[in-house]
């Protein structure tokens, strides 16, 4: 459920008309709904209510500080994967003891930054990383709390580019070697082993792979405890999928997921952490774009928008589906027609949808891409020298620009010309 609904034939974000935002900031732009963000966060929080837990928003999905602060004020922690994300979370007001640090390639500088600034735990992904973490912690005279990310060799049954839990993926240590790696960690004086971490992939629309992974984690918890390790915290990653295609999707709900966590891991008495990104932010955001031209081609027509693959790369990168709806509600009885929806960037990959059924639209009309709040703005670029598009946050009847559109000068003046030119 989200808060982007038609009212009297016009699309609204909460109590603000999308057309009003478009008039104020120009197109294209991203718009997020506070109520939807909070609703999704609370669904997870409530789903784990029976257990000690922390919901850490995977801020790679949407790292705007206004979004982070909205969630943090509701009690969320953050899952960060870089020094940049760590700094952003801190700048948004998230305390270090609510930040977990994931990622396969943490550098010394990033580790030092987090150890000095405060961190809840590092999710360690390899032995060499463990050695560096230990050395940096000892050089600072502190101990680093860690979980070790295990790779359970489970098929997440999602897009190959976002599956992470198979043995051929670069993530975590093979679960079969976990005892050996935990033994090594226990011998490193700069580290304090507190738990286990697992994340098997993103946009999972079936609970079975989670179940398979969590059962393995449960078994490993008992084995490691028998080996003498204190396992008090389980970080279960993110990955729960969302209904991108409203017409034919019914993914499991956070409450179903919470029951699965209870059932597979509840008896262990561990504190539970989860790292959802997409489910919190995805359906809390739209990308709004204007039709520039309607072009008739050979046997097909094209809707050419002012938004492009650099603004929302998911269709080009993962063949991802996004619902695209007109900002003025189509009149009942008008037959939708198939049309290709494309951006102005000079490559064929800049195609959002092929032969999508759309009501008749003309130049100047606005359309909204649904489910664009996660992995939208964060993955955008300035390809074709198109400035990053603005982000807007709505709360009830208020809206604010939370990242302005840079001017052309700001974009162009970032380059510097060497003295020999």
Q: Tell me which residues touch ligand LLP (CB under 6 A).
A: 58, 61, 79, 102, 162, 199, 202-203, 237-239, 275-279, 314, 318, 374-375
Q: How far is CA 291 from CA 149, 337, 390, in A?
A: 46, 16, 18
Q: Is 346 a catalytic residue?
A: yes
Q: Using an 8 Å Cβ cutoff, are 322 and 362 in contact?
A: no
> Closer CB to ligand LLP, residue 366 or residue 374?
374
* Shortest Å distance, C-beta 116 to ligand LLP: 23
**What is the C-alpha to C-alpha distance for residues 339 and 190, in angstroms, rounded to an integer?**
60
> Closer CB to ligand LLP, residue 150 or residue 358?
150
Residue tagged active-site, from 226, 346, 362, 421: 346
Q: Using an 8 Å Cβ cutoff, are 151 and 126 in contact?
A: no
Pull the structure tokens for residue 309: 């693959």
Mind giving me the DSSP string for 201-265? BSSB--SHHHHHHHHHHHHHHHHHHHTT----EEE----B---SSGGG--PPPHHHHHHHHHHHH
Residues 6+ apart with CB under 8 A from 362: 291, 294
- Helix then strand count (H, E) for the chain reads 12, 21
* Shortest Å distance, C-beta 330 to ligand LLP: 28
Please count the other Cβ atoms lying within 10 Å of the Cβ belonging to residue 205. Answer: 16
**What is the C-alpha to C-alpha distance for residues 234 and 259, in angstroms, rounded to an integer?**
16
Q: Using an 8 Å Cβ cutoff, are 373 and 62 in contact?
A: yes
Q: How wide is the angle at C-alpha 378 spanned by C-alphas 167 and 210, nearest 5°?
A: 35
Q: Using an 8 Å Cβ cutoff, are 202 and 244 in contact?
A: no
**What is the C-alpha to C-alpha distance for residues 247 and 244, in angstroms, rounded to an integer?**
9
**What is the C-alpha to C-alpha distance for residues 323 and 370, in angstroms, rounded to an integer?**
5
Instruction: Write out the catalytic residue numbers.
Output: 346
């Amino acid at each position: 459920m989200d808060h982007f609904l038609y009212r009297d034939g016009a699309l609204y974000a909460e109590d603000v008309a999308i057309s009003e935002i478009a008039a104020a900031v120009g197109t294209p732009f991203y718009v997020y709904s506070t109520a939807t963000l909070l609703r999704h966060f609370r669904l997870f929080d409530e789903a784990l209510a029976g257990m000690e837990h922390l919901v850490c928003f995977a801020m790679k999905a949407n790292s705007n500080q206004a979004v982070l602060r909205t969630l943090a004020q509701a009690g969320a922690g953050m899952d960060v994967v870089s020094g940049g994300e760590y700094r952003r979370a801190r700048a948004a007001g998230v305390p270090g003891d609510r930040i977990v640090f994931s990622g396969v390639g943490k550098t010394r500088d990033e580790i030092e930054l987090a150890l000095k600034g405060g961190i809840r735990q590092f999710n360690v992904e390899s032995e060499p990383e463990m050695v560096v973490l230990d050395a940096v912690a000892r050089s600072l005279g502190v101990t680093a709390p860690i979980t070790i990310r295990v790779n359970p060799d489970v098929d997440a049954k999602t897009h190959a580019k976002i599956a992470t839990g198979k043995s051929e993926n670069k993530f975590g240590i093979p679960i079969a070697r976990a005892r050996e790696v935990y033994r090594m960690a226990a011998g490193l004086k700069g580290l304090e082993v507190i738990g286990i971490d697992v994340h098997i992939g993103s946009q999972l629309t079936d609970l079975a792979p989670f179940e398979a992974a969590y059962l393995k984690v449960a078994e490993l918890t008992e084995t490691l405890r028998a080996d003498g390790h204190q396992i008090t915290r389980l970080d279960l990653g993110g990955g729960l999928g969302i209904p991108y295609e409203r017409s034919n999707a019914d993914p499991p709900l956070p409450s179903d997921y919470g029951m699965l966590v209870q059932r597979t891991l509840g008896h262990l008495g561990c504190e539970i952490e989860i790292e959802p990104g997409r489910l919190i932010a995805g359906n809390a955001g739209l990308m709004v774009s204007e039709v520039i031209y309607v072009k008739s081609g050979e046997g097909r027509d094209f809707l050419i928008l002012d938004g492009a693959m650099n603004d929302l790369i998911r269709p080009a990168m993962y063949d991802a589906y996004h619902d695209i709806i007109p900002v003025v509600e189509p009149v009942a009885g008008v037959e939708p027609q198939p049309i290709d929806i494309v951006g102005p960037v000079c490559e064929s990959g800049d195609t959002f949808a092929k032969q999508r059924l759309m009501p008749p639209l003309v130049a100047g009309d606005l359309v909204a891409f649904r489910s664009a709040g996660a992995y939208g703005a964060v993955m955008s670029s300035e390809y074709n020298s198109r400035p990053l598009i603005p982000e807007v946050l709505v709360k009830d009847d208020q809206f604010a620009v939370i990242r302005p559109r840079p001017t052309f000068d700001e974009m162009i003046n970032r380059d510097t010309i060497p003295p020999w030119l």
